[in-house]
Amino acid sequence: MSPGRDLAVIGLGYAGLPLAEAACRSGLRTRGFDVDDAVVATLAAGRSHVAGVSDADVAAMLDSGFTASADPARLGAADTVVICVPTGLTADRVPDLGPLRAACATLGDRLRPGTLVVLESTSFPGTTEEVVLPILERRSGLRAGEDFYLAFAPERIDPGNTRFGLADTPKVIGGYTPLCAKYCATFYSRFVDSVVVARGTREAELAKLLENTYRFVNIALVNEFAGYCATTGIDVWDVVHCAGTKPFGFASFTPGPGVGGHCIPVDPVYLTTRAGQDGFTFSLVEAAAQVNEGLPVRVVDRAETLLGDLRGASVLLLGVTYKADVPDVRESPARPIAAQLLARGAEVAYHDPYASGFEVAGRSLREETDACAAAAAADLTILLQDHRKYDLAALVNSARLLLDTRGKAAGCRVRVL
């Protein structure tokens, strides 16, 4: 047996759809499965809902034979199945493997001998062998490593990154057995330039958590530097620029209003939760979490200092997505910032060229369509996300007062954290 040419992707979000698109381009017969009927309908109509995959890409996928469906019956016809479902946090901010367990149960009921199953969803070490494997074996009656093949290959999608994409980002894979790893590596080699084989599934799982925890900790570090610089009158942006000129031993991170997205605020929770179950404490990661979770309050405290009193003040938030030039608002720091502003009595509106509709605690914020006009009317404008579509010079000239959390604006009406 070797991985065949029929692929099914479970979960057609920010990781699953780019994977399906790359597989279609490589000539694999690809179908997608998603429980969201709206996602299925959007793709069937030739439209993309994911940044980095255009409508033209979806049209090309459909022309190649790609189909999206909410019918799980079609999973059983695939030679390879890749699971790309969300692994987020519950309302209590603990790992939520509900969608993953449901996907495994759905697949297990239809799993055929000889199928390669790959998990791409980020999770704690042990997930593939302790969560996915038992469900698949119990529901199918098949044995992993003998009747079907199992591996973990973490997604490394970076939305908005125009330099590195799926094909030229090395793919880490870890197999349940050496043969599982071999089949998994063969599969990805069809559309990824470089495949890195880990010793096993746990090593591959933990590698992904290390990548994003590294960023989480360094974001906290540079934001603590920013706090220190603010108390001493030192220009933190110049500090970061100077340190960043070193050609070795230093990776540059910049201050901001907080962490957001599908990975950075989430993955460290998966790491520390599992570590606690294993009797280990990541003291540095927990300290970083305290810093990062306090950043939105720091932004609002600074706003209150600038205005004297937030009660009745009009505040405009510029950019509410978690990252520049992407439409994703998951875990965006704009949400706790807006909540804090509202709690202190401010009237809050927002402008974002990528986000239409933004809710905070069940309340929809007023959306402005003209950024400069809104900035001229607001008592304070807070730049949270420096989208390329923003004309910062025009915004600075329009705003009564602008709090820049990104170090991008300049002028007599500009203040920094």
Q: Is residue 127 a contact partner of residue 200, using CB atoms and an 8 Å limit?
A: no
Residue 263 annotated among the catalytic residues of the structure = yes
Q: Cα angle vertex 241, ends 239, 244, to 5°?
A: 105
Tokens 């004297």, residue located: 308
Q: Is residue 409 a contact partner of residue 416, using CB atoms and an 8 Å limit?
A: no
Distances (CA, A) of 386 to 242, 392, 408: 22, 8, 7
C-alpha 329/C-alpha 252 separation (Å) is 24
Distances (CA, A) of 143 to 115, 139, 212, 323: 11, 11, 33, 42
Catalytic residue among 24, 104, 180, 263: 263
- Relative to beta strand 149-152, strand 171-175 is antiparallel
C-alpha 267/C-alpha 251 separation (Å) is 20
- Relative to beta strand 80-83, strand 380-383 is unpaired
Distances (CA, A) of 165 to 108, 162, 215: 31, 7, 19
- Burial class of residue 245 in the structure, from the number of CB atoms within 10 Å of its CB (0-12 exposed, 13-18 middle, 19+ buried): exposed
Q: Is residue 121 a contact partner of residue 86, using CB atoms and an 8 Å limit?
A: yes
Q: Is residue 103 a contact partner of residue 11, using CB atoms and an 8 Å limit?
A: yes
Which residues does the annotation mark as catalytic? 263
